[in-house]
Chains A and B, each alone.
Chain A
Amino acid sequence: MKQMAGQHPNRRPYSAAVPGEAAALRPPSFLFWSAVHVLCCLVSAALGFRFSRLLFLLLFSPASHHHHLHHDHHLHLLRQPPAAVIPSPPPPRPDLPPPPPPPAVAGRVGVGRHGIRVRPWPHPDPAEVARAHEILVRLQQEQRLRYGVKDPRPVIVVTPTYARTFQALHLTGLLHSLMLVPYPLTWLVVEAGGVSNETASLLARSSLPVVHLPFHEDMPVLWNDRHRFEARMRLRALRVIRERRLDGIVVFADDSNVHTMELFDEIQKVQWMGALSVGILAHSAAPDATAKRQQRASEETSPLPIQGPACNSAGQLIGWHTFNSLPYAKKAATFVGDGVTVLPTKLEWAGFVLNSRLLWKEAEGKPNWARDLDEVGISGEEIESPLDLLKDASSVEPLGICGKKVLLWWLRAEARYDSKFPTRWVIDPPLEIVVPAKRTPWPDAPPDLPYQRIEYEGSHVEKRVSKKVRSSRSKRSSHNKKKHETHVDTQVSDMSSAQEK
């Protein structure tokens, strides 16, 4: 099994071979052969591999010639002993001839040297990899059947969204998370501003059943208004669930949130309404000095703000952990794309899950502490959190070991509300002018001297920042002028000269 390092005197298993051979030779020629052996040893010392053994075996064992012929076709299966694999120095050796027969053991496996069988193309076969994945999927299915949730209910996901720069980023992430959910899923996507091609093309990439609902008002720019607007969008989706009598567990998945897979297993336990812990990733997007101070301050107070149910030691709901917005009072973002922290509302919708039967007009066993959906939100009522859908908030079930497990994270990261992006993130037709980024080396460009135009230390920073854009273009334009004489040059030089002004 495990061996000790050099604790025992003789470790050479095949040293038996040499005395055997020597003994077989006649005494009169012993001196001659030993001289040859010494010569071979010197040659080996010079060359760096065991020359004598190879020579002896090749020349002086006629019986094993058959051996060689027989084993020839093995040699391209048998690779060299892993001299290449060992990091320490042994130099590359020629293919070792097959080993001397091992000491007599009655069994068919013997001690001694064996070849290391390596197939000629030791790389995975894609068909086999695909088959292995099929096997894994089937095994995991079986595991879920045996040990997972019994009688899983379908999941209904409600997502408010709208077409904007970062929509592709967030929605694709959510899409992939939902595609991994092992339960039957229906995705209700409510889009502000009506149904757009952007969103439709993103949703078409999933194989999930999506209900794409239009909401014919535009998303407001101010965050406070936006939170209220999203609540109305979600209510719209809940009304659709009520109309169509969709069955399952309703999850409010905002497109920029991050969800764990355990969330979807945990919500299967909900009876009527459940509350989860949401980790709030409220930090500023802009990496500048003010943000760093902010981060340090928030780190001093608490590691990660969490919104969710609060329980007593018996596991019963006694209250709520809400987001403390005092540290961020002056630095909160007001409009979408503001460079400072975006704050969540006191209790985010994402932290609640409902049984869809709570929304139906009539359902068996529907508790009387739930308000009828038609009465909610009609008379201009402010719906801040799903708790407003209930008359009595005390019968909400805490999930995730009574809120100790954080099952999703709330995050808002948006570009400026007026930022532009290419439709469906496709640049068609392709751009005429392609300028490499500063760090990409143009094949035969002259060496870049970025700081030649700085005049004095004071304006060092500013000059450098603006110079980045300029210098590359000017360098390239001059280069282009030399090499290509198309109208492209004039355009580029025009642009660079305009910028320099």
Chain B
Amino acid sequence: MLFLHCQQPRVPSASAPPFRPRVVSVAAPLSVRVTGGRRGRAVVAMASADARLAGIASSIRVIPDFPKPGIMFQDITTLLLDPKAFRDTIDLFVERYKDQGITVVAGVEARGFIFGPPIALAIGAKFVPLRKPKKLPGEVISEEYSLEYGTDKIEMHVGAVQANDRALVVDDLIATGGTLCAAVKLIERVGAKVVECACVIELPELKGRDKLGDRPVFVLVEADA
């Protein structure tokens, strides 16, 4: 099977406002066999993904110096105010994962709760919320992770994920990868397989993929940290 993953050239257009995220990946399925008549359809699928990605990228608002000076905050709330951009975002993830036998979508609190459930519903998977401490009632397992200053923790319900589950971990953005790495470890601890981490936005300068090692990461757009 041929793995098809293409990069858009990362050249900002003259008319684009400054600091916009750049379209990075053409969201082809995880693997596609390009043969004969299917080739035309694959090309059309990629062209359509292109157009959708441009709309998604331009719907994301960048707020300088939030939450503190020097941070360029990638604000997805403007994407959520654009029904077509939000629909396209979910569709691109669903197209990628619907035939991958994903049994659970885990979303990281709180913005992972916005993107994860619609994906889960569309592909018929369970949704598991990964939460800040003391929010989930009953028995939980937790994973600590480092912040710039200090540590934080995320928790998952015991029994939510089983050893034979195939999991997708969803958050709005990957930066340093600390939170995602903690999420992945929780799922792997119960013996399940993390098939991929899926985010709308990546800040590649912060090297989040390094923290995740050989676990795949899929994003729709890249932005400057």
Asked if A and B are interacting partners, one says: no
Measured CB to CB, the residues of B under 8 A from A are: none
Measured CB to CB, the residues of A under 8 A from B are: none
